A and B are shown apart, each in its own frame.
Chain A
């Protein structure tokens, strides 16, 4: 019964989506208030039915209802409850339902926090979101129904892919989807503004908090995914330039550009068409990501089943949504006038350059991701594009972004004074350069220019972020007074830029100074790595709920002190007969120690991989800083006042970008 109920709820949600799109859009076009008023209740009802469907699927998993094909393929009665809960989004059908449900959630949120929007604007925004909902739900109902039954019901399920049996699985996909789908709000605002011809700064002000929240989720999703890959895949890497990772990274890059561009549009009324285009791009890349992951056109560790019928459906959907919005853009954008005036050297232009660089970075990732497909389509053979391409192309694009991200906050709107700025920043610039070089020479390697450049850049970015805050604070008489006078967005920007610096430190140091060894170890033997010794104490058998494992025991010794006990496992999952490597990690702010078991050799010996990874945590810490920065910006009072006053006043020390 539960499954049928879920199926019916999904159909109901689809009908609600039809209402939510049809009447309000027509109403806004014809100026019929009654039709427009359908938007809110329809959106809420749609979310209610989606949630019902989602809960029904959760129930089927929790109750081990193997008569539901999707449950039988992705769960097992010996699978622990919390993984059964997460197994709902463990494969295609459930992921899509999660996608749809989260879209419902965002739509519902728009109905709740939109008091300041005009009736017409709201009707258009919800209408556009309804159109997206229609597409996704039609896709689920026609090609990917998670509620399908199997007759006769198998007595036992096929279990969840062991790779996914992890804590990361419970949070990574929902957070990532919150980010992906959240970008649909900015997209719908942009389309609504294009439709209504009201591309003004109010539109940018409405979009900003929504975009920021989506961006925060997206950042979190990516950080969790990277951290998960790091400890679960057992290769010691944290980013693989896998097509699916790229699919989440491209919208992130564009969304980052978008939040900055929205700031300019809101404050200065500039870049309106560019900002709209970015909003379209960001969500289009989210959809493209869905297409790439779900159609199986690219091989990836994430792609589980490919089905051309599904791929074709998503492609058509993509054509309708993206093609439609870009056509609308081509029709409407030429009529929009930028009335802002600014000179060549101004915050506006610096932000624009950085924006373009971010889009170029996203485009280079897109090219690398689609290149194998391109060659295959042209009949030039099957190749795969690996990390060498991405590091070669990506680093040169990112370097000026970091440089400019340090510079832009220090430059005033409209017109900047190059000479004065050079004078002010010269010391900081030279200082970061010298310090970056000195740090590398003293502690690391004399000739490593890449790391020198990376560290200098990080110091520059953190330094300018601090200096920007300081110069704002200094305007007030007392220091504490000055700190208190700053708006949360200023702190948000400072924190986010510092986060980028922290991230950069983590990337360059862990990339260049990690050490690893693969050795054969018999019980009692040890291996030296840097100043650490890993002593192997043997392997014992352990049994988990749905796996058997060999668990190794290692002591990590530094000097003559034991600093960590590590227990990596080699698991063999009973149902799917998969072997999984569970690495053991001793984390630290300055270094990670990482042990993974390889293959058993003769006489109790094992092949063992050990890693020393300095500053590894900084990579994710940087991401968390950026998120916190975003959260601070969202909490800015200007947005909270939105509900009461249509046009919030500009704060005296309002945020620069962020």
Chain B
């Protein structure tokens, strides 16, 4: 066998190694500029009780999940059963940001599939979502006791994401002290 006929195979093997490594990396995992920063300040009417408000002050004092959702979002529907499971397990309070939705549709959705949220803020025009850097629904933020964003999950929370990333982080954050 002459060596020069092996060259294409050699080049290919090197390429495959890089592609293999590339698979483990996520090009979209651009570090969010919001991580480590205090949650953007807002105050919005609640979905269920328009006369009541929900805002960034309510996120302080405990580790919580802030989940951006909408009734028109199919991936949210996929994520929803898992959120229900989480809320039943009472591991962590979940708050919702109902993003660019209609109140009727949002309420109907919660009624039909169940409500995993303590409260959902109603962000009809998406202004608050923009301040939080939301670019796709669903997105979930982990907010610590001081109201600082510590993690952002883009796309649905899955069993895998929860056990591998979110839950360990939350346990760590819950152990932290306020003001630390």
Contact = CB atoms under 8 A, between A and B. Distances in A.
Asked whether A and B interact, the reply is: yes
Interface of A: 69, 72-73, 150, 154, 156-158, 273, 277, 280-281, 284, 291, 295-299, 306, 308, 311-312, 315, 318-319, 322-323, 326-327, 329-331, 333-334, 370, 372-374, 376-377, 382, 575-577
Closest 10 CB pairs of A and B: A377-B21, A326-B9, A158-B74, A297-B22, A373-B22, A299-B27, A330-B5, A333-B5, A311-B23, A334-B2
A331 B2 CA distance: 9
B24 interface: yes
A299 B22 CA distance: 12
B19 A373 contact: yes
B8 A370 contact: no
Contacts of B27: 296-299, 372-373, 376, 382
Contacts, number: 91
A267 to B, nearest CB: 24
B175 interface: no
B20 interface: yes
A323 B26 CA distance: 25
A280 B21 CA distance: 24
B110 interface: no
Interface in B13-31: 13, 15-16, 18-28, 30
A308 B23 contact: yes
B73 to A, nearest CB: 7
Contacts of B18: 370, 373-374, 377
A326 B12 CA distance: 9
Contacts of B25: 297, 373, 376-377
B1 A330 contact: yes
A286 to B, nearest CB: 15
A330 B73 contact: no
Given A330-B5, A334-B5, A575 B28 contact: no
7 contacts: A284-B12, A298-B27, A306-B26, A323-B16, A373-B19, A373-B22, A377-B22
A327 to B, nearest CB: 6
Contacts of A273: 5
Contact of B16 (A281, A315, A372, A575): A315
A154 B26 contact: no
B5 A370 contact: no
Contacts of B100: 577
Contacts of A311: 23
B20 A315 contact: yes
A529 B73 CA distance: 43
A362 to B, nearest CB: 13
B6 interface: yes
B34 interface: no
Nearest to B15: A370
